[in-house]
Structure 1
Amino acid sequence: MAKATTTIKHILTSTPHHGTWFAANQALFNRVVSFYFDVIQSHIIVLDHSNKEALTILETLTHATKRNPSPVMPLSKIAEDIPAYFRRAAIHAALGSAHSFHTHLTSWKQRKEKAGIKGKPFHERPPVPPRSWQKAAILYQGMWKERTKQSIVIKVWTGACWSWIKVRMTGRQLPVDVELGSPCLVCKGTRWWLHTPIERHVHNPGTIEKQMTTHAHTSLCAVDLNINENLAVCTVQTVEGTILATKFIRGGKRIAGFRKRQLGRIARNRSRTGIMAEGQQDNGDLWKKIRHVDEKCAHRISARIVQFAQQHQATILVFEHLGNLRPAKGTYSSRSNTKRAYWMKGRIFTYAKYKAYTMGMLTSRVSPRNTSRECACCHNLIVRYDAGKPVEGYMPGAPLAFCLECGMKGNADRNASLVIGQRLIARYHPKEKPQTLRRVSKDTGVVVSQDAGCEEGPSILVAGHGESNEHGTAHDVRFRMDEPASDIPHQLRFLF
């Protein structure tokens, strides 16, 4: 069995003075964390022990008891009568920050030493300890009680004393078959949220290599992400190469049009003023609207991808390993629109990765080289064209594909998703060396090289990409925004 962790978020509907108390409680928590970080810096040997042993050592150094009336660095200088669970939550937060800082410092020293041995100049600055602390206050078991679906009683520092207060909360209900972690108080803008981590035990499907080599019935879902109307095209296929189902997730034109309108408004507002205050965000409401819509769309698309894969019992998700995609030159709104569309593709992969893991699926990535140019049947170069246009040349972003060698004809994005799945299969089931993409004469209209600034974006030659498997994490519930999957039973190959 494996564990998958996610977070359930609830909005706290509290009064204004409750918000003041939460802020005072968080400020005290960060002062205690900062204090223990300094203690660890003074006794660096603490990091050589386990967290449980380090907790005992730090409490001995700071907490006064009958057996230890005079600690070396008393916590009472920060505040009196700090609850034990509050103190221990701060100690664990400080230990995490200290481990992170010293890991980065050790890595920096190694890079400096390596550069010195090679005689190369080394201008990289060393990492520094945190200058400010903005950690959310963690509520261990003794700091909250009487939790229901609509309310919770928590113990907070009001600035004058410790007090139990009851606050109402709204949001998604907690699942039944999970283990609850320690919630924490998080401030977002003027609202306070309660974040509760949950752990779910899921079946461990084994590594991708094991699934691909030992189970003949393994199915994988290959996903081709785009920035045109088809935001994602998913095909489920078996290890033997049988195509089981296809799903087109549309809506790209709608989201791109909305984003472009907002960016146009931002550009017009900037042209009117001509002055932007340094250190301040201009057009904050419009930028916030764009971010929220992109975030919502990324969650919706990733949820539908994972649901489609689960519906057809796929255990592996396959994406392209996209790197530094650069938008084509153009107006400010057009270039920024394309750039944010690329960012949204990265979010879709990230969200699909963790959503898939809680359903027992792993995630992998393959090289994006020529995925939109290869024929899924014979791996020769294809022609991409628009409906009603001559079947010749290669038009980036065109919806239709045709292979001059084998006669394959169909949707270009579906063909690309099939190639993505085939590349993962070929990684663990190597066959004879495939036929190299041969150059053809220019009179056929097929171009070998691809423009890095094309609008489609998924198969550029200069993109940074890798060949390694990427594993991720997700939900075993049906998402409310999901739609029934639409399968395409027919094969991709047609007679031309």
Structure 2
Amino acid sequence: MVNRNPIIRTDKWSLNPTAEQRQLFAETVKVYRRLCRHLTGIVFTHWVELGSLNSQQVIPAVERLVHSTSQNPNVKYPIDRTFHKFPSYYRRAAIAFAVGQVSSFVARYREWQSGTRNRRDAKPPTLNAEAGCYPTLYRGQCYRLHGYEQGEIKVFTGKDWVWTMVQISGLRERHTVDSNKRLSPSLIFNQQACHLSVPFECHPEKRQPDTNVVAVDLGINTTATVSVVTFDGTVIHREFIHPGRDIDRRDKRLKSVSARASKTMGKGGNLHKGFCSNTYRKCRNINQNIAHHVSKRITDIAKQFNAQAIVFENLKGWKPTGGKKGSNLRQRFHGWLKAMIRTFTEQKWQEVGGKVIDVIAAYTSKLAYDGSGVVKRDSKNYDLAKFSSGKRYNCDLNGSHNIAARGILKRVPSGKNG
């Protein structure tokens, strides 16, 4: 049985164009954006009659305003001379983009007029016709695949539209899943990137999971502590996930910011806008990479043990408190990737038909998983806890066992469906 609610995920297919093809791609993106800007003004002008149409009706309606045919020779805004021989499917993709831009602007402007604002002095939204859009490629009309090693793309030379064969240098794995449906990709081309952004409509099959859950304790000393626990309470797998090398690489960059700030300001003054923006951008990218690696490992464990669900603590709205004077605890909490890891894990686990559930976070680390009562943290090693029975145990591992117990209580009444 196939899930009726599709999940959309996007793969990046890297391209390896020649110098000539890079010029063609640049010209294609440039002329496509020109048409999008042109159409945005037309759509906004006629939004009174266009806004009530559905997605199947609005594109033909806009085409009747701009594209002349033998049955519709006298159009109000002829674009055929300015955009000579513009392919019909590229034109329809541009119309769809322009309609989306105007629809979004009108909705946001109405909200602003009604008083729904983040701040009392919030300025009204503006219609952005200069959005950095990229051309959508329709199969057979704008692109043709020749296996998964190369493909043809229709591009603009400056005078005419031609086909060019380009090498595909990198793929992911979603195209290998039979239940996934490939949708129309976009050609992403700029100074930093050249690839196809390929969306897939995923239809995960209904699972027949085993009677166990994967519990994850997200911490700052250990990024993720994972326990696989069966419904009878047996712990069948434990694992600590902590990409220390990447974390050190990120923290080293962040520490350099304070040194540069002191040299810039001296004993007083203000930092200019965008100070160390490249450093912060690199740190954000490292954080995202860490979250992807950790979430993939969690998902792999769940697949390996055919788990019913992945269980997290509900940490939404939780705010860190500072440590002692001179402590770096507050800074470490700012590097805590609790929300990003949970989001990426849920996205990956949903693709195979799994569920992610949240449990109450209170007392998961404070109480012993064996029911012996409150644990006492070791004064010299905060990672260790001492149970009332005298047993010493890892605090994060103890927390993951408690999270698993609460997750099992949520799953048992609803049966075994994943």
TM-score by length of 1: 0.71
The one-letter amino acid paired with 1:200 is C
Distance 2:234 2:71 in 1: 71
Corresponding position: 1:328 with 2:322:
yes
Distance 1:273 1:339 in 2: 26
Alignment of 1:219-258 (within 5 A): 219-228=212-221, 230-238=222-230, 240=231, 242-258=233-249
| Corresponding residue for residue 61 of structure 2 | 57
Change (3 A) 1:321 1:77: farther
- Retained in 2: the 8 A contact 1:259–1:337? no
- Retained in 2: the 8 A contact 1:372–1:415? yes
Alignment of 1:335-346 (within 5 A): 338-342=332-336, 344-346=337-339
Distance 2:308 2:113 in 1: 42
Helix, strand or coil: the match of 1:350?
helix
| Corresponding residue for residue 182 of structure 2 | 180
Distance 2:159 2:273 in 1: 36
| Corresponding residue for residue 12 of structure 2 | 9
Change (3 A) 1:125 1:368: farther
Corresponding position: 1:267 with 2:253:
no
Distance 2:32 2:318 in 1: 40
The one-letter amino acid paired with 1:53 is Q
- Retained in 1: the 8 A contact 2:217–2:396? yes
| Corresponding residue for residue 148 of structure 2 | 149
| Corresponding residue for residue 398 of structure 2 | 415
Distance 1:161 1:379 in 2: 78
Alignment of 1:47-446 (within 5 A): 47-76=51-80, 78-112=82-116, 122-130=120-128, 132-141=130-139, 142-172=141-171, 174-175=175-176, 177=178, 178-187=180-189, 189-204=191-206, 218-228=211-221, 230-238=222-230, 240=231, 242-274=233-265, 278=272, 280=274, 282=276, 284=278, 286-287=279-280, 289-322=282-315, 323=317, 325-326=319-320, 328=322, 334=328, 338-342=332-336, 344-378=337-371, 380-385=373-378, 398-404=382-388, 409-426=392-409
| Corresponding residue for residue 481 of structure 1 | none
Distance 1:268 1:379 in 2: 48
Helix, strand or coil: the match of 1:35?
helix
- Retained in 1: the 8 A contact 2:311–2:359? yes
| Corresponding residue for residue 20 of structure 1 | 23
The one-letter amino acid paired with 1:298 is A
| Aligned residue-pair number | 400
Helix, strand or coil: the match of 2:335?
helix
The one-letter amino acid paired with 2:45 is S
Change (3 A) 1:196 1:109: same
- Retained in 2: the 8 A contact 1:320–1:365? yes
Q: Any gaps of 5 or more consecutive residues in structure 1?
A: 116-120, 206-210, 390-394, 431-496
Distance 2:79 2:324 in 1: 59
When the two chains are superposed, the root-mean-square deviation of aligned CA atoms in Å is 3.4
For residue 280 of structure 1, report the CA deviation from its aligned partner.
4.9
Distance 1:332 1:19 in 2: 53
Change (3 A) 1:333 1:347: farther
The one-letter amino acid paired with 1:26 is V
Change (3 A) 1:123 1:61: same
Q: Any gaps of 5 or more consecutive residues in structure 2?
A: 414-418
Counterpart of 1:35 (choices 7, 28, 38) is 38
Helix, strand or coil: the match of 1:75?
coil
The one-letter amino acid paired with 1:28 is V
Helix, strand or coil: the match of 2:72?
coil
Distance 1:33 1:417 in 2: 51
Distance 1:163 1:356 in 2: 42
For residue 110 of structure 1, report the CA deviation from its aligned partner.
4.4
Distance 2:333 2:385 in 1: 26
Helix, strand or coil: the match of 2:176?
coil
| Corresponding residue for residue 447 of structure 1 | none
Q: Deviations over 1:243-283 (max 9, x none)?
A: 34333233354433332222233433444455999555537
For residue 77 of structure 1, report the CA deviation from its aligned partner.
6.4
